[in-house]
């Protein structure tokens, strides 16, 4: 199976990348990134199947790029940024414009293509929430779900995944600032002990999303945490699908 990954240097994307490197089911990983970076290392990780493709403009996908991606089975769109780190316009561009442009372009890569969008708890497709995060994530979910109804994008099978607090993988090799390390040291045990149902362990989340990206594209079976006719998986749904 060949999957496309974005956001591979973030908390969620890094866990997806590591899972793919370790999975014999995944034979090829095309990583779209703004820069080159060092792939994770360790026993059982096959780094030879990963290709980092430096891509600067996530609103355009020229033929030179889509030709390389042809035949891919699915994508995990883990690219994202906190609404506190950029302007409102830039947040909308990254959170809404980028995944929409990618999904449209990727719909031409195969006769069936699974697009897994990393959203988050609090996303509101009605945009009645007061948070920018909830409005724009919800807007992106709604727009992505509408794409397959257009004949030109009918190959798409869209899944919106809403993790809660993402508990970083114990294998996370990335360096963090002192402030980030302090925040994690406080938040991780707090969420684990007081609100475990709202926690999405990064490794479990990675497995669930890769399974969706490489599956048959059919809706997830009804159950707790499964919404929008099996196309939206909330945090509790992720936990159940991951065996927690």
User: 3-state class of 174 per DSSP?
Assistant: coil
Q: How many angstroms from the chain centroid is the CA of residue 184?
A: 21
For helices 202-214 and 11-22, the axis angle rounded to 10 degrees is 60
Question: Splitting the chain (244 residues) into consecutive groups of 10 residues, what average pLDDT does each group show?
Answer: 96 96 97 95 95 97 97 97 94 98 98 98 97 98 98 98 87 60 59 74 97 98 97 97 95
Q: How far is CA 73 from CA 8, 149, 231, in A?
A: 18, 19, 17
User: 3-state class of 163 per DSSP?
Assistant: coil
Identify the residue whose tokens are 């999904």.
103
Q: How far is CA 210 from CA 125, 178, 192, in A?
A: 24, 31, 24
For helices 132-146 and 98-106, the axis angle rounded to 10 degrees is 20
Residues 77, 117 contacting (CB under 8 angstroms): yes
Domain positions in the chain are 2-241
Most distant CA pair in the chain: distance in Å? 50
| Predicted local distance difference test score (pLDDT) of residue 168 | 79
The CATH superfamily of 2-241 is NAD(P)-binding Rossmann-like Domain (3.40.50.720)
Cα-based torsion angle of the residue sequence 236, 154, 104, 10 in order, rounded to the nearest 10 degrees: 20
| Predicted local distance difference test score (pLDDT) of residue 167 | 87
| Predicted local distance difference test score (pLDDT) of residue 186 | 58
Question: What's the CA gap between 208 and 240, in Å, rounded?
Answer: 10
Q: How far is CA 5 from CA 115, 131, 206, in A?
A: 10, 27, 11
Tokens read off for 171: 């294998």
Identify the residue whose tokens are 């707090």.
190
Q: What angle do CA 35, 41, 43 make, to 5 degrees?
A: 155
| Predicted local distance difference test score (pLDDT) of residue 197 | 80
Which residues partner with 51 through β-bridges? Answer: 30
């Amino acid at each position: 199976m060949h999957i496309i990954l974005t956001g591979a240097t973030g908390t969620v994307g890094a866990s997806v990348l590591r899972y793919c490197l370790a999975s014999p089911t995944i034979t090829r990983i095309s990583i779209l990134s703004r820069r080159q970076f060092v792939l994770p290392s360790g026993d059982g990780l096959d780094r030879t199947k990963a290709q980092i493709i430096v891509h600067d403009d996530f609103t355009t996908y020229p033929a030179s790029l889509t030709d390389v991606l042809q035949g891919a089975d699915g994508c995990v769109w883990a690219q994202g940024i906190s609404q506190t780190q950029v302007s409102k316009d830039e947040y909308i561009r990254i959170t809404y414009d980028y995944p929409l442009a990618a999904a449209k372009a990727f719909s031409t890569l195969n006769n069936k293509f699974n697009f897994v969008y990393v959203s988050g708890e609090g996303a509101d497709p009605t945009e009645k929430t007061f948070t920018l995060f909830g409005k724009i994530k919800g807007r992106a979910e709604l727009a992505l779900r509408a794409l397959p109804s257009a004949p030109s994008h009918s190959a798409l099978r869209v899944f919106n995944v809403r993790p809660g607090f993402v508990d970083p993988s114990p294998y996370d090799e990335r360096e963090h600032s002192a402030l980030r390390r302090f925040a994690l040291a406080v938040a991780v045990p707090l969420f684990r002990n007081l609100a475990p149902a709202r926690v999405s362990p990064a490794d479990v989340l990675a497995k669930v999303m890769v399974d969706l990206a490489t599956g048959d594209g059919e809706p997830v079976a009804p159950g707790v945490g499964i919404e929008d006719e099996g196309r939206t998986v909330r945090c509790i749904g992720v936990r159940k699908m991951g065996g927690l």
